[in-house]
Structure 1
Amino acid sequence: MKNMLKGLGAALCVALPFLAQAPAGAATPAGAGAADQALVQRGAYLAQLGDCAACHTAPKGKPFAGGLPMNTPMGRIYVTNITPDAQTGIGGYTEADFARALREGVAKDGHNLYPAMPYPSYAKVNDGDVKALYAFFMHGVAPVQQANRESDIKWPLNMRWPLMFWNMAFLEKGPYRDKPGKDVAWNRGAYLVQGLGHCGSCHTPRGVGFQESALDESGSAFLSGALLDGWFASNLTGEHNTGLGRWSDEDLRTFLKTGANRHASAFGAMTSVINNSTQALNDQDVAAVSKYLKSLPPVGGNGAPAYTYDPQATKVSLDRPANDAGARVYTAYCMHCHGVDGRGFAPMLAPLAGNPNVLAKDASSLINVTLNGTGDLVINGVPSPFPMPGFAAVLDDKQIADVLSFVRAGWNNGAPAVAAAEVAKLRQSTQAGR
């Protein structure tokens, strides 16, 4: 169970004219002047920090050519080609067409996009950043001729026109406006988190219409954590046990840049966010994002008292593992990385004691990463030496439930036990098609 800590999440986008290396697959704009090249580079930075590649590039596919499958409550959809190919991509889009698709979820031909595309967040992106993104996708990305694939959603749920009414109910138009009484850094962080960063798309609970329950800090559910596609995206509020309450500003900035700190290591979908997005944040924007997130009041949590570390009972159990089925599994498969004391070897190997995601009421992320492992964190081109392996082929449902129950109770974590039926359900849903 290496790196068993769900990270916090957010693909955070930036609009200041700091230059960064363009994402893989970027093309040099032919015949562009210096000003145009600077705009393309700025757009490349925005696209990278917005993690556009994570959704619009399929495994082993060409950059931004689409085809990535995405599960929704209605069925599977396939992400579209956003290269500047005139036939199959967005090469025929004007800047106005591009802006409408990005911020209103309406394609050039007038059909509505599924809100799996986080346009309710992108609605807050300002005109200058839209212009830079358009310049990048038109002149900084190589065109790829690859037809878009129809969704697997069955009729009548695959009809797009009802989404017009969804937009009327849930889409709030207009770019982000600075909040009075807040300084420049706080407003910058709010803009990044709420806008192109679309953190709420994963970390905010959804309502009955699959809309985000809140789009900014004025709603109590904003960034309080949410279940999505077999993972529980972490609580990003100041909640002491399951959120960021015990994280310092330095802890948070380190996590955004490297995917690991003394509290947590990224895994699951967050690995892609770190690899393709947040590590590229410049120092000013890292500080702004951290300032905004650290300002959010505590919401949610498991109702337990503030966590304090206590290794004694767990140490006794591990000294006599035959008395506890979960301790036996932990001793055989987990202890060499996460330690008898549960503190791991941060930042390379994540701690389990006091881990916000170990303490969370919903254990989906822990079950998922134990079953399926996670990909490598790749920071500045260097893969992490100890990625979490998957144990689906090694441990049965009861063994995984036992060891996770042991971990969630150990070192004074005090989190609820995990049932074998929960493991079986996630095994079935996540292993399908593998």
Structure 2
Amino acid sequence: MFPAASSSPTATGSADTPLPPVRSPTDTVPHPRAPGPAAPPAKQRDAFFDNAKYLAIVLVALGHAWEPLKEGSRVLQAAYLCIYAFHMPAFIIISGYFSRSFDLRPDRLKRLVTGVVVPYIVFETAYALFQRIVDRGPAVPISLLDPWYLMWFLAALFVWRMITPLVKLVRYPLALAVALSMLASVSPEIGDDLDLQRVFQFLPFFVLGLSLKQEHFALVRRRSVRILSVPVFAAAFAVAWWASPRMNSGWFCRCDSAQELGAPWWTGPVMTLALLGCSLALTACFYAWVPGRTTWFTALGASTLYGYLLHGFLVKGAGYQGWYDAAWLHRPWGEAVVALLAAAVVTLLCTPPVRRVFRCVVEPRMDWAFRKDAVAAARERARA
């Protein structure tokens, strides 16, 4: 690395005089040729989580696309219930996992505004206007307090992240979240503001994500769990097939209390616990089959918010135009075609070209709207 010392005589010594040993540079004595401190390596994304997010968003699109068709097919109803039992819990757990470091620091609040609040306002308004233009039915009111269709998730994510610092202060956060979820299931007075029923009833999954670590996900990705998941999914489908004509699917949406679903109040806490256990079991089985290596769809997992926010226009537009009324769509092969189209469309909506077009409303920078952080400005001046 460094040139060898010369053995020829110098002005201050002779060839018979031994030269002093060459000293290697230390951490405390800088060497003129020693390189500066190496920059820390960029933190790489875990392919497992991107894969899981992509597969979960495909299931979300699949459930939305199947919803207008499920009434005529008991098999489709069973598949619909199975998907709705775990696809949002799987997504919410990962959202909680990546919210563990969230606090009220200015840069994180700014990201919350630009990544959650602004898309919520834009798309809540856009969906209402879209319905008024394309649909011939009664107009949907533009209301930022009453999330419509799939916008509830952004409202819930905003609330969950804002309460994250408080959640991390309490001693038993998961038990508290389950208790709040049970209480919400018997509280029809909560109303529709910010879809707080879903906020509370899905809260345990977000809090669970806050509590998980990398090794917990590794536990459910073992080969034994993957093998066990096959009979578990089969049993879940059999139960869903039996329950589909007997059970209100609104329980899986978690947007109403027990009284609003026409059930006695005491069934709310019971169903909350039952669905919590069912959702966690199926979510673990889902994670077990998510590949941990980089695949062709791994990069798409970083853009699932685009697929989530945009696919609803196509699903709702198809319903407004009466495309679901075609008889062939209500046959098994028609339902399969709808599933393939839903998966293909949501995949395209997560690609880089779509991201470049819609970045201004899904991930806007908006530096002009915020004051510059004094601490960050001081650090920049120090580096200069």
**TM-score normalised according to structure 1 size:** 0.25
**TM-score normalised according to structure 2 size:** 0.27
